[in-house]
Chains A and B, each alone.
Chain A
Amino acid sequence: MIDQLSWLAIYPELILLVMACVILLVDLGVKSAGRDLTYGLTLLTLGWVVVVTASQASGGQTAYGFGRMVVSEPMGNWLKCFAALALMATVVYGRPYAKDRDMLRGGEFFTLSMFSLLGAFIMISGHNFLVLYMGLEMMTLSSYALVALRRDNATATEAAMKYFVLGALASGFLLYGLSMIYGATGSLDVGEVFKAIVSREVKHQVLVFGLVFVVAGLAFKLGAVPFHMWLPDVYHGAPTAVTLAIGAAPQLAAFAILMRILVQGLLPLAIDWQQMLTVLAVASLLVGNLAAIAQTNLKRMLAFSTISQMGFLLLAMVAGVVDGDKLNAQSAYSAAMFYVITYVLTTLAVFGVIMLLARQGFESEDISDLAGLNQRSPLYAGVMAVGMFSLAGVPPLVGFYAKLAVLETLLATQQTYLLVLAVFAVLVSLVGAFYYLRIVKVMYFEAPPAHAPATIEAGKDVRVVLSINGALVLGLGLLPGGLMTLCSQAMSSLVKSLGT
């Protein structure tokens, strides 16, 4: 039954779909090298989507559409809102970079990003395994194409190939796992699956068998160890603008799908998947942090840093259910949500600076390319330093509160093994601090290379957005209360709706 409410539930998706098609057509007539009109329309559309999702989210209602195929609820709407904002920043940072690399001959960079965001939105909205899967495929297929946008560049095409093959494998895992769960429960609806498992009339072995594949597929998408191999290569090989396009907004969608499948669908199996996630988290924290130390390529280092940050995120996910009791669920999942949002915010700032330093024929990929940045531009060095300290989790930057929330939720369970995990996480984050500090060291303590221009040129739009981005990392560090409350409220309505 398709009623008015159904359309309302997918209002942001509709805007995106229509506007992406319109922009695709309009772009045919655009002649300017910077694709000014396409760029403007993209930003306008995304701004519109931000307003719509934010107003839906602050309404706080939960509405289902198309026979519970999709859901519109606060967590999803906030994630959509932040994903659209993240893509706005990505487009602003990425346009000069793409222009210099001959990637703006057509408007694909903009339209593919928008289709990728549309996929992310569907992933966030989906309340049915197949819808979720379709959203995921839409997002990743657009991303594969984005990575391959510089088709004459060998590393980029190699990265695209690798991303495609491994991504397809992961999707296969996920689909296979979902089909097992469908076989056991007889439903694709997230809520129905939950109820079926609670009723205890389904075969546990089949469920857990499917669950293993689901978790593996999701871990691939998140980049958790040992399913992380694609991530450094893709981060490294893809043009930096695209690295950001697949490293920022899609992480929010990946978190959403984790919530929809594992929590809203399979929470009764939490005992099983929490164990799996624990292993993934520990491995990610170890491998991510240790491997990052050895990197000389900045983008590879950030890829391993992403892996370790995802490890922290997964730690929050394992604290939701204790002894079959979901008292801690709201605190755990809202900690994870806060973590992923602030992670994306920081990542945007960091990649924004990297792209700013890249010039025609110069990628600024090595850590040494940042040398003496403070002398060339105190502002951008400051933004980068704030980002690094935040990723390292040093107060008073926002990354600290993200880690604090995760540690708090681990200790709140009063489980000894989770306490040990918390201490472990704290100790490996000390290792992490080393390589983040190294970036600060290069920027502040070393002299700029001789070939580097003395000043850094940047368009007004980039300068303004990057300054706001950096100020937010610092400002949310001074006043994190609002965002925390927002995450907590979003999760409280989600946890309340479990099993319905």
Chain B
Amino acid sequence: MGLLSLAIWTPIVFGIILLAVGRDEHAKAARWFALVGAIVSLLVTLPLYGGFQYDTAAMQFVERWDWIPRFNIEYHLGLDGISFWFVLLTAFITVVVVIAGWEAIEQRVNQYMGAFLILSGLMIGVFSAQDAMLFFVFFEATLIPMYLIIGIWGGPNKIYAAFKFFLYTLLGSLLMLVALIYLYRASGNSFDLAVWHKLPLSMNVQTLLFFAFLAAFAVKVPMWPVHTWLPDVHVEAPTGGSAVLAAIMLKLGAYGFLRFSLPIAPDASREWAWLMIALSLVAVIYVGLVAMVQQDMKKLVAYSSVAHMGFVTLGFFIFSDLGVAGGIVQMIAHGFVSGAMFLCIGVLYDRVHSREIASYGGVVNTMPKFTAFALLFAMANCGLPGTAGFVGEWMVILAAIKANFWIGLAAASALIFGAAYTLWMFKRVYLGPVTKDEVKTLQDINAREFLMLSLLAVAVLYMGIFPKPFTDVMDASVADLLRHVALSKLN
């Protein structure tokens, strides 16, 4: 069994064992078992870091077996510089999420933890699949645990949110399924992504495929104007669900652009880049403004996620080294930062049971340690230099200015909005005098929460100060992707 299979199946096996033998009477054992499972799953991904070759764009750690011979579908896994960090990020966030759900979840603990472990394995599968149908199966399978997580442990309006999440994303990906089957026929019965990357296609076909992929990935990212499901879902999802959704599931969509849209339909991608850039700028600016007027902290962070993901898609469709790499860096950074933001809201919610900004004020007086963490993550969310949030945004803006000054200017202006809504929320929640009774009696974070937040804080700072390990890994693959996109595939 290869390293990637180990990374995928270890958490899934732990999750299935939890589901099978866990009982509510043994909640404590279930928590510890889940933590062990998550840590083991993280440990098995570490040898990937040691064995990764930096100087090649070829797939590494390849595993390839027949899976469904009838349709020539293969169990084909591989990693390159683009997908590498997401495997580690997923395993890392899962550990944090297990710690986050330690006390907040009291009902059916084994199912909660099991769902997250299985979800983790499935998402790693998406990032490492090199067969389109394998990708699709993992991509869609993630919906099932997330649907249950939102629906069982979510807030008051959880059922609406769970259905909206499931049906919205299903609609997008079903159109992609038709596109995948079309490509299977067009490529002479192959679901191999590498074959599809070389397949010549006419402009009309490329355009149709591009929009079919767009339907799936734009919903998942989510891009304006199909982002409306995200705030609803974030508000109702439990803290861990929000964190995983923002930190990793959104990246599945952005990752899809790099694996499917750009290399399979390069001509259509260039042709429609203006549309993608326009939609991205709308997300960055308009959704940033929408975030500013939110009363609900989770909604605010949800809209801020849409805006930040706008930077990602903007970077991709500028077609420069800096832009694509910046987009990927932004994805990783947003994984840490948005996960951390949602966990911070979770810390407050566990104590006060309100997400309204107005229910708080002066939290710093009663929770100084926690506020220090919150400040760091808020700064990272605004893109302060020295934090993870800065690197990706700066690279994308630089690339945008090189491509077109006005696009760069529009993107850069969004930094101001980002700072505005994040800092304004910070001020209203954490600073000022204590006016609410609930805030007066707040207990500062305990050791568990301290551990959880410091794990993320270390990641945010490390990535902000030494971004080189992150960019080094992707250089060769990004350059190769751009060379590929620059060539016309018209036949």
> Which residues from chain A sit less than 8 Å from chain B, CB to CB?
374-375, 378, 382, 389, 394-396, 400-401, 404-405, 407-408, 411-412, 414, 419, 422-423, 426-427, 429-430, 433-434, 437, 440-441, 444-445, 479-481, 484-485, 488
Instruction: Provide the residues of chain B in CB contact with A404, threshold 8 Å.
Output: 71, 133, 177, 181
Q: Would you give the shortest CB distance from A490 to chain B, in whole angstroms? A: 12
Residues of chain B lying within 8 A (CB to CB) of residue A480: 68
The reply to whether B71 and A484 form a contact with Cβ atoms under 8 Å apart is yes
Contact of B141 (CB < 8 Å), options: A394, A411, A419, A440: A394
- Report the Cα distance A489→B9, complex, angstroms: 32
Q: Which chain A residues border B184 with CB–CB below 8 Å?
A: 408
Contact status A395-B68, CB under 8 Å:
no
- Min CB–CB distance A379 → chain B (angstroms): 9
Range for the number of chain B residues in contact with chain A = 35 or more
**Alpha-carbon distance between A430 and B151 when the two chains are bound, in angstroms:** 19
Q: Is B137 among interface residues, defined by CB-CB distance under 8 A?
A: yes
Q: How far is the CB of B24 from chain A (nearest CB, A)?
A: 9
Q: Is the CB of A412 within 8 A of B163?
A: no
In the complex, chain B residues whose CB is within 8 Å of the CB of A382 = 19
B69 close to A481 (CB less than 8 A): yes
Q: Which chain A positions have C-beta within 8 A of B177?
A: 404, 407, 426
User: Of B140, B167, B185, which is within 8 A of A411 by CB?
Assistant: B185
Give chain A nearest CB distance to B486 CB in angstroms: 30
- Determine whether B199 belongs to the interface, using a CB cutoff of 8 Å to chain A: no
Contact (Cβ within 8 A) A441 B163 = yes
* B174 A426 Cβ-Cβ under 8 A: yes
Taken residue by residue from 128 to 157, chain B's Cβ proximity to chain A (1 for < 8 Å, 0 otherwise) reads as: 000001001100110110011001100000
Contact B137 A396 (CB under 8 A): yes
Interface residues of B in 105-141 (CB under 8 A from A): 108, 111, 133, 136-137, 140-141
Could you say which residues of chain A place their CB within 8 Å of the CB of B143? 394
CA distance A375 to B178 in the complex (A): 38
When chains A and B are docked, how far (Å) is the Cα of A430 from the Cα of B219? 15
- B162: Cβ under 8 A from any A Cβ: yes
Q: Does chain A have a CB within 8 A of B468?
A: no
Closest chain A residue to B66, Cβ basis: A481
B residues with CB within 8 A of A: 19, 66-71, 108, 111, 133, 136-137, 140-141, 143-144, 147-148, 151-152, 158-159, 162-163, 166-167, 170-171, 174-175, 177-178, 181-182, 184-185
Q: How far is the CB of B434 from chain A (nearest CB, A)?
A: 37
**CB proximity of A370 to chain B, nearest CB, Å:** 14
B144–A389 CB distance below 8 A: yes
Query: When the two chains form their complex, are residues B144 and A407 in contact, meaning their CB atoms are under 8 A apart?
Result: no
Inter-chain CA distance A440–B175, complex, in Å, is 24
Q: Which residue of A lies closest to B71 (CB)?
A: A408
7 closest residue pairs by CB, A with B = A484-B70, A395-B137, A481-B68, A445-B151, A426-B174, A395-B140, A411-B181
Q: Please, which residues of chain B bring their CB within 8 A of the CB of A414?
A: 185
Nearest to A430 among chain B residues (CB) is B171
CA distance A112 to B103 in the complex (A): 56
Query: Which of A408, A422, A433 makes the CB contact (< 8 A) with B167?
Result: A433
By the criterion CB–CB under 8 Å, are A430 and B140 in contact? no
Contact assessment for B70 and A488 in the assembled complex, using a CB-CB cutoff below 8 Å: yes
Residue of B nearest to A411 (CB): B181
B162 adjacent to A441 (CB under 8 Å): yes
Pick the residue among B133, B141, B151, B174 that contacts A444 (CB under 8 A).
Answer: B151
Q: Which residue of B lies closest to A334 (CB)?
A: B70
Contacts of A395 in B (CB 8 A): 136-137, 140-141
Which of the residues A405, A412, A433 comes within 8 Å of B166, measured between beta carbons?
Answer: A433
Of the residues A419, A430, A437, A445, contact of B174 by C-beta under 8 Å? A430
B residues within 8 A CB of A434? 163, 167
| CB nearest neighbor in B for A409 | B181
Q: How far is the CB of A391 from chain B (nearest CB, A)?
A: 13
**24 examples of A-B residue contacts, CB within 8 angstroms:** A394-B144, A395-B136, A395-B140, A396-B141, A407-B177, A408-B181, A411-B178, A411-B185, A422-B178, A422-B181, A423-B175, A430-B167, A430-B170, A433-B166, A433-B170, A440-B147, A440-B148, A444-B151, A444-B152, A445-B162, A479-B67, A480-B68, A484-B68, A484-B69
Q: Known: A378-B19, A378-B111, A437-B166. Contact between A445 and B152, CB under 8 A?
A: yes
Please report the C-alpha to C-alpha distance between residue A427 and residue B162 in the assembled complex, in whole angstroms: 19
What residues on B are CB-neighbors of A401 within 8 Å?
68
Q: Return chain A residues, CB-CB under 8 Å to B137.
A: 395-396, 400
- Decide: A426 and B175 in contact? CB cutoff 8 A: yes
Chain A residues within an 8 Å CB radius of B174: 426-427, 429-430
- Chain B CB within 10 Å — which of A395, A430, A481, A488 has the most? A395
Residues in chain A near residue B133, CB distance under 8 A: 404
A429 to B185, CA, bound (A): 22
Please report the C-alpha to C-alpha distance between residue A374 and residue B19 in the assembled complex, in whole angstroms: 12
Question: Which residue of chain B is the closest to A488 with respect to CB atoms?
Answer: B70
A342 CB, min distance to chain B CBs, angstroms: 14
A485: B residues at CB distance < 8 A: 69-70
Chain A residues with CB under 8 Å of B144's CB are 389, 394
Count chain A CB atoms within 10 A of each CB in B143, B144, B171, B175 and give the residue with the most: B144
CA distance A401 to B162 in the complex (A): 24
Give the residues in chain B near A437, CB-CB below 8 Å: 147, 163, 166-167
Distance A389 CA – B146 CA, assembled complex (angstroms): 13
For the complex, what is the distance from the CA of A405 to the CA of B71, rounded to whole Å?
9
Determine the residue in chain A with the shortest Cβ distance to B184: A408
Please measure, in the bound complex, the distance between the C-alpha atom of A412 and the C-alpha atom of B71, giving whole angstroms. Answer: 12
Chain B residue at smallest Cβ distance from A434: B167
Residues of B within 8 A of A441 (CB): 151, 159, 162-163
CB distance from A334 to the nearest CB of B (A): 8
Cα distance A395–B71 in the bound complex, in angstroms: 16
Q: What is the chain B residue whose CB lies nearest that of A403?
A: B177
Q: Contacts of B141 on A, CB cut-off 8 Å?
A: 394-396
Whole-angstrom distance between the Cβ of B125 and the nearest chain A Cβ: 10
Q: How long is the Cα–Cα vector from A445 to B107 in the complex, in angstroms? A: 12
Closest approach, in angstroms, between the C-beta of B428 and any C-beta of chain A?
33
Question: Most chain-B CB neighbours within 10 Å: which of A434, A481, A488?
Answer: A481
| A433–B147 alpha-carbon span in the complex (Å) | 13
Q: How far is the CB of A265 from chain B (nearest CB, A)?
A: 27
- For the complex, give the distance between the alpha carbons of A500 and B181 in Å: 34
CA distance A419 to B181 in the complex (A): 11
Looking across the interface, which residue of chain B has its beta carbon closest to that of A338?
Answer: B70
In Å, the complex CA distance between A405 and B72 comes to 12
Q: For B182, what are the chain A residues with a Cβ–Cβ distance below 8 Å?
A: 411
**Assuming the A-B contacts A430-B171, A481-B69, are A407 and B162 also in contact, with contact meaning beta carbons closer than 8 angstroms in the complex?**
no
- 19 new A-B contacts, CB < 8 A, other than A404-B181, A429-B174, A430-B170, are A375-B108, A394-B144, A395-B137, A395-B140, A396-B140, A400-B137, A411-B181, A423-B175, A426-B175, A426-B177, A433-B166, A434-B163, A437-B163, A445-B159, A481-B69, A484-B68, A484-B69, A485-B69, A485-B70
Within the complex, the shortest CB–CB distance from A375 to chain B, in Å, comes to 8
Residues of B within 8 A of A375 (CB): 108
Q: Which residue of the partner chain A has the closest CB to B154? A: A445
In the complex, what residues of B have CB within 8 A of residue A389's CB? Answer: 144
A484 contacts across to B, CB distance below 8 A: 68-71
In the assembled complex, which residues on chain A have CB atoms less than 8 Å from the CB atom of B19? Answer: 378, 382
Whole-angstrom distance between the Cβ of B65 and the nearest chain A Cβ: 11
